Amino acid sequence: MSTHNTRRRSVPQPIVAAVVQPVARRLSRIEALLIEMRYEQDVQLRRATALQAQLDTLGDLVSQRASHRGAGRTRQRTPDSLKRTETRQLNREEPADLRLN
């Protein structure tokens, strides 16, 4: 009958030499990362600014249309079917191109 060995063998851990980078190299890598992050932030800011300008333009157009439609007549209730056809006519217009060049 075989006997069970209860002793554990210790496996030697591999020795890893730590390579210390020179301070100048580490600082240059950090600086490059900061420059890249700043560039990405500028790209996002430009995109947000362009979208805000388009949103402002659309808001101006909507307010002009609303003031133009309401000029010279009093507000009257319209049936839902007329509202739906008006909405369909508005949605047939070409959407604004929101892509950045």
93, pLDDT greater than 60: no
Task: Output the pLDDT for position 21.
Answer: 83
Task: Output the pLDDT for position 48.
Answer: 97
Q: What's the rounded mean pLDDT across residues 26-39?
A: 95
| Domain carrying residue 39 | 21-69
pLDDT tens column, 58-72 = 999 998 888 877 665
Q: Which residue has the higher pLDDT, 65 or 54?
A: 54
Percent of the chain with pLDDT over 90: 39
Q: Answer yes or no: is 98 within a domain.
A: no
Q: Answer yes or no: is 89 within a domain.
A: no
Percent of the chain with pLDDT over 70: 64
d(CA 101, CA 74): 44
Question: What single letter denotes the amino acid at residue 51?
Answer: L
Cα three-residue angle 88-93-97, rounded to 5 degrees: 135
Q: Answer yes or no: is 85 within a domain.
A: no
The count of structural domains within the chain is 1
Q: How far is CA 2 from CA 5, 10, 15, 77, in A?
A: 9, 22, 36, 97
Q: Answer yes or no: is 79 within a domain.
A: no
Q: Answer yes or no: is 49 within a domain.
A: yes
